[in-house]
Chain A
Amino acid sequence: DVKVTQSSRYLVKRTGEKVFLECVQDMDHENMFWYRQDPGLGLRLIYFSYDVKMKEKGDIPEGYSVSREKKERFSLILESASTNQTSMYLCASSFSDRGGEQYFGPGTRLTVT
């Protein structure tokens, strides 16, 4: 069974703090993704990575950065958290030749106060 895990289910941070969200997958997937999900807006792609140390901007990269030092791990970094980054963050992974078949982690509900 594919397993994608995220470091926290719930996180509360203050405005201006640096926030790290970690994602680990155990299926040797080449591709990894970070999305945020907000009511009425659906899932929006923040960043993705198709290989170690490679990263590409998604649709809403502003205010975020990512790191992929190992194939199984993809980190999302909020350099200076703001209240408009309060959201559900979902990590996903897939094989490079089956990009439509993405496996999601359970999500991290981040609240920035």
Chain B
Amino acid sequence: RKEVEQDPGPFNVPEGATVAFNCTYSNSASQSFFWYRQDCRKEPKLLMSVYSSGNEDGRFTAQLNRASQYISLLIRDSKLSDSATYLCVVNEGTGFQKLVFGTGTRLLVSP
């Protein structure tokens, strides 16, 4: 079983749509959680951290469910520029930060 699992997609949505991605993780001792974004042929970049209480950054909302060990990312009012691969990332480190990356969910937003 993979440590961090994501639906690879692609998710094809029209501009303006709302889209949600889920991710599950296997290590219940995981400390912190993140979403990274990776554009085609580019490096990953931190999109947002995920807090237990849920957090929002503009059109993006991230939520964590520790009991069920899943993390979600909601994108509202999708833009063409949101087309990218979204990586779910879990910090398994105790003491030292060790990130485990999911393989990513690809989003394609069309006009």
Contacts and interface: CB of A to CB of B under 8 A. Distances in A.
A100 B43 contact: no
Interface of A: 31, 40-43, 45, 48, 50, 56, 90, 94, 96, 99-107
A86 B10 CA distance: 25
A100 B46 CA distance: 9
Which 9 pairs show the lowest CB-CB distances between chains A and B? A99-B97, A104-B43, A42-B103, A43-B101, A42-B101, A100-B34, A100-B91, A100-B32, A104-B44
Contact of B103 (A31, A40, A100, A104): A40
Contact of A100 (B45, B99, B102): B99
B43 A105 contact: yes
Given A42-B102, A94-B97, A100 B42 contact: no
A9 to B, nearest CB: 10
Interface in B47-106: 49, 87, 89, 91, 93, 96-99, 101-104
B97 A31 contact: yes
A96 B93 CA distance: 12
Contacts of B44: 43, 90, 104
A100 B89 contact: yes
A42 B104 contact: yes
Contacts of A99: 91, 93, 96-99
25 contacts: A31-B97, A40-B103, A42-B87, A42-B103, A42-B104, A43-B87, A43-B101, A48-B96, A90-B43, A90-B44, A94-B97, A96-B97, A99-B96, A99-B97, A100-B89, A100-B97, A100-B99, A101-B46, A103-B46, A104-B43, A104-B44, A105-B43, A106-B42, A106-B43, A107-B43
Contacts of A104: 43-45
Contacts of B98: 45, 48, 99
A102 B46 contact: yes
Contacts of A42: 87, 101-104
Given A31-B97, A100-B99, 12 more contacts: A42-B87, A43-B87, A45-B99, A56-B96, A94-B97, A96-B97, A99-B97, A99-B98, A100-B32, A101-B46, A101-B49, A106-B43
